[in-house]
């Protein structure tokens, strides 16, 4: 018998995506987990491999989830393109990397929000402007 294991649910960014989707669902907003590269519609903005986002199309809001092993600056070009397409972006960054995100995303059209795992649950900080 074969068993399929969804490893995305146990990674930090997978758990953040799940928590973010749950928050939109609680507000009865429609949102979906997508790959950031798919939101770019073929526009070349750098290597976005493995970067998830939660998008609420009706609201034109996207939450970009920075994985542990991806430099924060890798999403800067995507944030500019999303802004020109009418999306409001929030970058969800691990709490211990918030300083890095402020430094490399300063001036980009986004907000930052830290996240961390406490007692097995994902917690979020307040929104900040880089």
Task: Give the pLDDT confidence score for residue 33 in this predicted structure.
Answer: 92
Task: Give the pLDDT confidence score for residue 20 in this predicted structure.
Answer: 87
Rounded distance, CA 46 to CA 49, Å? 9
pLDDT of 126 higher than 80? yes
Please report, for the chain, the start and end positions of each structural domain, with discontinuous segments joined by +. Answer: 7-128
pTM score, whole prediction: 0.83
In DSSP notation, 24-44 reads HHHTT---EEEEHHHHTTT--
């Amino acid at each position: 018998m074969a068993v399929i294991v969804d490893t995305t649910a146990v990674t930090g960014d997978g758990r953040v995506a799940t928590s973010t989707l749950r928050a939109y669902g609680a507000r009865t907003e429609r949102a979906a987990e997508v790959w950031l590269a798919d939101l770019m519609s073929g526009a070349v903005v750098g290597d976005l491999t493995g970067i998830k986002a939660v998008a609420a199309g009706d609201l034109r809001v996207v939450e970009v989830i920075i994985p542990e092993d991806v430099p924060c600056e890798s999403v800067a070009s995507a944030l500019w393109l999303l802004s020109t397409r009418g999306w409001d972006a929030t970058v969800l960054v691990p709490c211990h990397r918030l300083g890095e995100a402020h430094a490399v995303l300063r001036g980009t059209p986004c907000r930052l929000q830290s996240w961390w795992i406490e007692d097995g649950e994902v917690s979020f900080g307040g929104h900040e402007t880089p």
